[in-house]
Structures are given as C-alpha cells and as structure tokens.
Amino acid sequence: MQLTLQVTYRIGDSHRSRHYQSEESAKRGIYKWLLKNQQHADISASYFSAASGYQAFQDIEQLSDYAPKPSTNFYLSRAWQDLRYQVLNSREHRCALCHRSAAEHGIAVEVDHILPRSRYPDLALDINNLQILCYECNRGKRDK
C-alpha cells in the first residue's frame, strides 16, 4: 500500500486536489500554492493525516518553515562581497605572505579566511580573520 496524502485546494467555490507522498512535501506544495494565489481573498488548502489530524491553511505565515530555502552560497552573499571589496581596497590588493601586489606584479589575489569558515563560522565575516593571499600562496597554504 502506498501512503499518500490528499490535499484539497480551494479558491472560492472551486476545488481541486493533489496527492503527496508525505506531509512534509504536502506542506511545501501548499506553501507554494498559497504564495501563488494569495491575491484571492477566499482560499484554503486542507488535508487530513493520521499523524496530525485535520489541517487547514489560508496564509503562508502558517507555513513559514516550509518556504523554499534562500540561496545559501556564502561567496555570493552581499555581506561577503562587500567585506571582500573592503579588504582588497584597504590592503592594496597585496598578498599577506609574499607581499606582492596585483597592481605591481600582475598576480591574482583572493581574500582568504585565516581560520577556516568550515570550523569557525562565527568568524566568517570578521575582518580580522581575513587576509589577502595570492593564488600561489593560497595554494601553498592548502597543500600544507
């Protein structure tokens, strides 16, 4: 027997239903549907599950935990981009180890976390935990 959950979507007097494999995926589906149809005044999505009983939703705020996750790519975040720019400019694009600079030596530099972000997430946006490294020095650091 396949367990599915039937969700009834209602806008005014019209109904339709969809089946989901789990309550979790039903809630994500409901969230998207509510978001798409929130201009309608009279909408609801409801289902019955053995675990939770009768559930009805009219507002995405009831399901904020099921919102699609925003992009979590740290290196694309505004905060990182701004900080990176600030570090590069305040330190003349100069490598902290070999002291060559992008302008004088035509090298590629990158902004590096002294204490790695994976183990020290709290220091990911701490300017004192950042250093400029050229490509070669950074590769040397990783190989160590």
Tell me if 43 contacts Zn ion by CB under 5 A.
no
Q: Residue 34's Cα: distance from chain center in Å? A: 21
# residues contacting Zn ion (CB under 5 A): 5
Give the nearer residue to Zn ion in terms of CB position, either 36 or 142. Answer: 142
What is the pattern of x (binds Zn ion, CB under 5 A) and - over residues 8-37? ------------------------------
Return the closest-CA partner of residue 94 out of 83, 86, 84, 105: 105
CB of 137 to Zn ion, least distance (A): 3
Q: Hey, which bits of 21-117 come out as E strands?
A: 43-49, 53-57, 109-113
Please give the torsion angle defined by the CA atoms of residues 62, 68, 70 and 72, in that order, rounded to the nearest 10 degrees: 120
Return the closest-CA partner of residue 45 out of 60, 32, 30, 65: 30
CB of 97 to Zn ion, least distance (A): 5
Give the nearer residue to Zn ion in terms of CB position, either 95 or 111. Answer: 95
Restricted to residues 83-112, the positions that interact with Zn ion (CB under 5 A) are 95, 97-98
Distance CA(82)–CA(76), nearest Å, equals: 10
Give the nearer residue to Zn ion in terms of CB position, either 27 or 93. Answer: 93
Give the nearer residue to Zn ion in terms of CB position, either 26 or 95. Answer: 95
CB of 141 to Zn ion, least distance (A): 10
Determine phi and psi for 9, rounding to 5 degrees: -105, 130
Residues forming contacts to Zn ion in the complex (CB under 5 A) are 95, 97-98, 134, 137
